[in-house]
Amino acid sequence: MEDIKTPKVDNVSLVERFSSRRNAVGSLYLTATHLIYVDHDNKRETWILHSHISSVGKLPLSTTGSPLQIRTKTFISMTFIVPKERDAHDLFTSLNKMCQPENIEDLYCFRYNIGPDEMEKSYGWSFFNIREDFERMNVPPESWTMTTLNKDYDLCDTYPRHLFVPTAAATSVLIGSSRFRSRGRLPVMTYMHSNKAALCRCSQPLSGFSARCVEDENLFMCIQKANPNTAQLVVVDTRPRINAMANRAAGKGYESEANYENTRFMFTGIDNIHVMRSSLAKVVETCDLKSQMMSAFLNGLEGSGWLRHTKSVIDAALSVARTLEEGSSVLVHCSDGWDRTAQVCGLAQIMLDPYYRTFDGFQALICKEWLEFGHKFSDRSGHIQVDPKEVSPVFTQWLESVWQLIQLYPFVFEFNERLLLTIHDHLHSCQFGTFIGNCEKDRIDLRVSEKTYSLWGYLATHKTEFLNPLYQLEENKKCVFTKPQPTLQLPQSTSQPPQSPSQPPQTFKFWRGMYCRWENGLHPRESLMDLATSYKDHMHSLNDHIKLLKKRIRHLEKKSSDDADIPYINGNNTELQLDDNRLNYKKGLNEQVNLKVQLQEKDVNEHPLIDGENAWSKKEAVVSKPSHPLEFASEQFYPGLSEADITIEDLTEELESIALDWKSVRTATECPCSTPLDFSSFKRHCSRCGGIFCSRCLEKLVSLPGHVTLQQSRVCMVCYKACFPKSMESPE
């Protein structure tokens, strides 16, 4: 708090970039964690985390005041006009100090507290285990084994404790190879294909112009022998060849083909972190252009080269995936093995393994490739004060590569775009301890699992927000990214040709949801994914309600049928003289069921494998005569529902507990709590009243009596109180 010199400034104007209306005027508040702008006239609040701020700039003075331009790592660009230059200078100084603390333990995650009622601090930290992931791959123990050489991080302090290496590799071979590799990152397995071809990763060798290492060469031979398909090993160097040759002058470089037998080398030409940082900066400048001409935007986007760089990452991953499909093991590395290597290995596994395209599998992949095997998140994201040359959007580019794949294959990913955006936002927010530090050892030393919350726990509690409504499990299982895939069966006039990630550059899209997310004037009125999710949830709710109604109708028909068989008039039994076609139909059904039961009993009695002693017990197990011809369809699937003593009040409650009509997403502009609902907001429906609310107002889960499955449904606070009126009363 000592860095805050001016906690509040009034009469601050917010410059509207894409609107003809006059600038908003409000108050600017500076707290220990956020910069808050309150527009009192429009009832709008804008909260910016200090850790999200990437730069604060002072623009030339104007007649109305001193402009401050704030850009964030989530690609928000806001310009505030502060009336007094002194207040602007105080804000400028305070924000520059608070957006990047000097000590990593001063980050927001070490102070953030949700409360035990919403989520325990330990929830989510034990969701994923690297050993369980390798067990899922069915790694053959005769070829690969888990070594404990790195249990204290002595072999490589940026690798995980548990490493899978060839069983034939001796300890001396592993230690020697580690000393020959940059940062000690020796070749280890990160994924095994179903055909037993292995995907390995490492860093560049310390070969210089002529140095060699016998232990490193022997480790290559062990990897080759562990593959039952072929003896050839493919080494993929993700750098441009000229960059790898330049590293030789620094005593590093790449492997010599003369020293490694049965090895094929290839370069994929992905540029380094400095080129990527400059490229993304040009994209941000293009999005901030004052000119609204499409030609200026397209020229700026093409000049940045960002989409071209993203395509090079996807092409490299596709090459690795195809090589593994052919049965050859692959070893991937770049310079230090934690930037381009993680990008290519992660994308290749998404292309090959359907599990990594699911909600849980995608998080497990991030844990393994980026967190366990080390990526300099704190340096690359600029969490604390570091060398600006170390900052680079490596993980952002990887998330965009995944998004590009989702655009090509929308039916095979269980998660949606919002999951990618949420992970990206919380990478920079430092609200959770998941991405703090540069490797697993750093997070253990900081005790983040004890002091901070896990992002995976937060995502698990909000899972419904991140599910893709177009996802189809069978399509995911049979999808092969390495070959052109036909789309789902569509009408002949709208059918599309087979597609593959190796598409021409013009098929790659600009990710408007990431880089222009906050510019409401550039988006349609609603998100298509939100509309699809809303329709799917509504249909699921209605289908569940219809099943209950059918069950109740069958019960009432059965009851009326029983009453019709033995009617009572003035307390005396009388014969039924009515000729009702429905009763005749049911009578015919009863006769058919009785006949079917008799035939089944006959088949059981005459079966040659059943003796006389067990025939009756077997017959009882096979057939059981129902009391109603349609009872099989009701009680068999929903045995937990009792229909005894159902009253009119119960039926009325069931009918009124489900909203048949849901409000349209298109007309929703504001939540009842006054939270604006724009393109980036996730709009949710209350299952009981059908109203639209923000995520914060729709966190209650209840089992509505109008659903036959009694599944947990989200309801607003008003409906929650209506469902539990007694529990909401004051104890007094």
Give the pLDDT score at 18.
Answer: 60
Which tops the pLDDT comparison, 318 or 619? 318
Q: pLDDT digit string (tens) for 254-307?
A: 999 889 999 999 999 999 999 999 999 999 999 888 776 888 989 999 999 999
Q: How far is CA 623 from the centre of its chain?
A: 47
Q: Is 439 a catalytic residue?
A: no
Nearest to 128 by CA among 423, 456, 464: 456
Q: Which of 211-225, 495-509, 545-559 shows the lowest mean pLDDT across its residues?
A: 495-509
Mean pLDDT of the region 322-347? 96
Residues in CB range of 641: below 8 A, 6 or more apart: 551, 708
Task: Tokens 């060699």: give the residue.
Answer: 212
Calpha distance 624→618 (Å, rounded): 11
Residues in CB range of 243: below 8 A, 6 or more apart: 272
Sign (positive or negative) of CA dihedral 431, 433, 439, 441: positive
Give the pLDDT score at 242.
Answer: 94
Confidence of residue 635 (pLDDT cuts 50, 70, 90): very low
For the annotated binding site for substrate, the residues are 272-273, 334-340
Predicted confidence (pLDDT) at residue 638 exceeds the cutoff of 70:
no
Mean pLDDT of the region 391-414? 95
Mean pLDDT of the region 119-139? 92
Q: By percentage, how much of the chain surpasses pLDDT 90?
A: 55
Give the pLDDT score at 663.
Answer: 87
Give the pLDDT score at 626.
Answer: 39
Calpha distance 501→429 (Å, rounded): 31
Q: By percentage, how much of the chain surpasses pLDDT 70?
A: 82
Confidence of residue 328 (pLDDT cuts 50, 70, 90): very high
Confidence of residue 532 (pLDDT cuts 50, 70, 90): confident
Predicted confidence (pLDDT) at residue 622 exceeds the cutoff of 60:
no
Q: pLDDT digit string (tens) for 142-175?
A: 999 999 999 999 999 999 999 999 999 999 999 9
Predicted confidence (pLDDT) at residue 45 exceeds the cutoff of 50:
yes
What is the chain's mean pLDDT, rounded?
83
Confidence of residue 504 (pLDDT cuts 50, 70, 90): low
Mean pLDDT of the region 498-516? 75
Which tops the pLDDT comparison, 418 or 683? 418
Q: pLDDT digit string (tens) for 675-713?
A: 777 766 778 889 989 998 887 888 788 888 888 888 888
Confidence of residue 402 (pLDDT cuts 50, 70, 90): very high
Which tops the pLDDT comparison, 666 or 280? 280
Give the pLDDT score at 683.
Answer: 81
Tell which CATH architecture fits domain 130-485+501-523: Alpha-Beta Complex (3.90)
Calpha distance 260→85 (Å, rounded): 66
Asked if 338 and 373 count as a contact pair (C-beta separation under 8 A), the reply is yes
Give the pLDDT score at 210.
Answer: 85
H helix and E strand count, the chain: 24, 20
Q: pLDDT digit string (tens) for 542-598?
A: 998 898 888 888 888 887 776 665 554 444 444 444 444 444 444 444 454 454 445
Give the pLDDT score at 521.
Answer: 59
- How many angstroms separate the Cα of 451 from the Cα of each of 49, 52, 254, 443, 462? 20, 21, 41, 11, 22
Nearest to 193 by CA among 502, 572, 482, 522: 482
Predicted confidence (pLDDT) at residue 621 exceeds the cutoff of 80:
no
- How many angstroms separate the Cα of 72 from the Cα of each of 1, 75, 77, 304? 22, 5, 7, 19
Predicted confidence (pLDDT) at residue 439 exceeds the cutoff of 80:
yes
Give the pLDDT score at 668.
Answer: 79
Give the pLDDT score at 324.
Answer: 95
- How many angstroms separate the Cα of 404 from the Cα of each of 100, 301, 347, 517? 31, 16, 11, 17
Calpha distance 622→607 (Å, rounded): 12
Tell which CATH architecture fits domain 8-99: Roll (2.30)
Q: pLDDT digit string (tens) for 449-459?
A: 999 999 999 99
Predicted confidence (pLDDT) at residue 505 exceeds the cutoff of 90:
no
Give the pLDDT score at 602.
Answer: 46
Mean pLDDT of the region 227-239? 93
Angle formed at CA 103 by CA 99 and CA 104, multiple of 5 degrees: 80
Asked if 514 and 400 count as a contact pair (C-beta separation under 8 A), the reply is yes
Catalytic residue among 99, 156, 202, 334: 334
Calpha distance 361→370 (Å, rounded): 14
Q: pLDDT digit string (tens) for 640-663?
A: 445 556 777 888 888 888 888 888
In the chain, domain spans: 8-99, 130-485+501-523
Question: SS3 breakdown of the chain: % helix, strand, coil, rounded to 5?
Answer: 45, 15, 40
Give the pLDDT score at 557.
Answer: 81
Same fold, 8-99 and 130-485+501-523: no
Which tops the pLDDT comparison, 231 or 163? 163
Mean pLDDT of the region 100-117? 88
Which tops the pLDDT comparison, 700 or 182? 182
Mean pLDDT of the region 81-110? 92
Nearest to 178 by CA among 147, 210, 208, 206: 206
